[in-house]
Structure 1
């Protein structure tokens, strides 16, 4: 029985990991073949919809091990969430690309040290808000502006969500810097599961506020 519970937890992670790698492969090919900042930014775009689909699939796994269908859930989440995920992910990629180019060419552009620190802070806050918004958009149906407002609200109102999400992002950054992007990709489904875990207070709050009362228009992703 214990082995079955372990398998029920590991199997979805493995399947989602394989599908994550498959869906971000076109962007990875661009990153490997070409070394230009614009191409690097374009290559990062598929990560948003893939991560959103992974969040949806892992959140939707049933308790019954005999009813596990992570691949079907992943592709359903990808189809439902791709556009909403890109609306969040594309601006984040653009902001990070501008910040990265500015920092890489700081001396040539004459950017002062204090401005570099401000750029890093902007990138960190933008990433925190965007990733939180991506979790919301992956699981619930809201207007894009409302997704961002909810993300900002819960980051401010639920410090545990903000600290947990920041810890997951810092761990991902550490893996990338100390090891490589390839290692981060191989652990992507585990990081998606960690994002879901630290976002549970936010998910519960949204469910209680918008889904439980009768007659509400906002719904959970089917």
Structure 2
């Protein structure tokens, strides 16, 4: 082994170097997340927190699905080695590759959740009974959790959209720990927005995606063992 290769290996293998590489990857992923969601993020920050703005808020969220998928792919496939760090390039490739498949999951989910949110926000005007409103909330939360599963599955594997939907619903029950973990992450994200703002949540985006990847590992591992060759 040449001196240059040996030196590169020493730089890339030490615990301090791995830690520095991980921080570097998270910072780059955070920057890419902000860049790819910037138009929507600006709109969210400028919108008043009024129920009449729910459709506009949903429109601002349309870039979020592909951006999160690209970030998840980057964290999953980028090796924390200082001699081979290319998180920005990995993110760009993942964003382009996943834009179509993720959008087929993300956009219908976002539309459905928006319809539910608008109906709940105007339940007095539309005459929704209390039990129906509660049922809508349960259905919306379930759909959101299944959507998170579907986003992870689409990012990590190549399945048909209908198979992704089936697996996403199946793993809500098959891996309850993953479902609870995703629910906790969503609740934490909602709390950050409620206490701070959408901008604060955006600045923590890479950390949330890393937690999403960690929480989803049991589901990912099971799919790799049982549903892929």
User: Is TM > 0.5 for Structure 1 vs Structure 2?
Assistant: yes
Q: 1:24 aligned to 2:37?
A: yes
Q: 1:70 aligned to 2:83?
A: no
Cα 1:34–1:164 change in 2 (3 A) is closer
CA deviations on 1:102-128 (whole Å, 9 max, x unpaired) are 122122222222222112111111110
Q: Secondary structure at the match of 2:78?
A: coil
Q: Which has the larger radius of gyration?
A: 2
CA distance in 1, matches of 2:121, 2:82: 49
RMSD, aligned α-carbons: 1.6
Cα 1:189–1:110 change in 2 (3 A) is same
Q: Secondary structure at the match of 1:141?
A: coil
TM-score (norm 2): 0.87
Conserved? CA contact 2:74–2:94, under 8 Å: yes
CA distance in 2, matches of 1:106, 1:51: 32
CA distance in 2, matches of 1:41, 1:171: 19
Conserved? CA contact 2:54–2:114, under 8 Å: yes
Match of 1:162 in 2: 179
CA distance in 2, matches of 1:78, 1:20: 10
Matches within 5 A, 1:192-203: 192-203=209-220
CA distance in 1, matches of 2:181, 2:32: 25
Match of 2:154 in 1: 137
> 1:65 deviation in Å?
2.9
> 1:88 deviation in Å?
0.9
Match of 1:217 in 2: none
Cα 1:42–1:5 change in 2 (3 A) is same
TM-score (norm 1): 0.89
Q: 1:86 aligned to 2:99?
A: no
Q: 1:46 aligned to 2:63?
A: yes
Q: 1:5 aligned to 2:22?
A: no
Q: Which has the higher contact order (CA 8 A, sep 6+)?
A: 2
| Structure 2 unmatched ranges of 5 or more | 1-13
Instruction: Specify which of 56, 60, 76 is matched with residue 59 of structure 1.
Output: 76
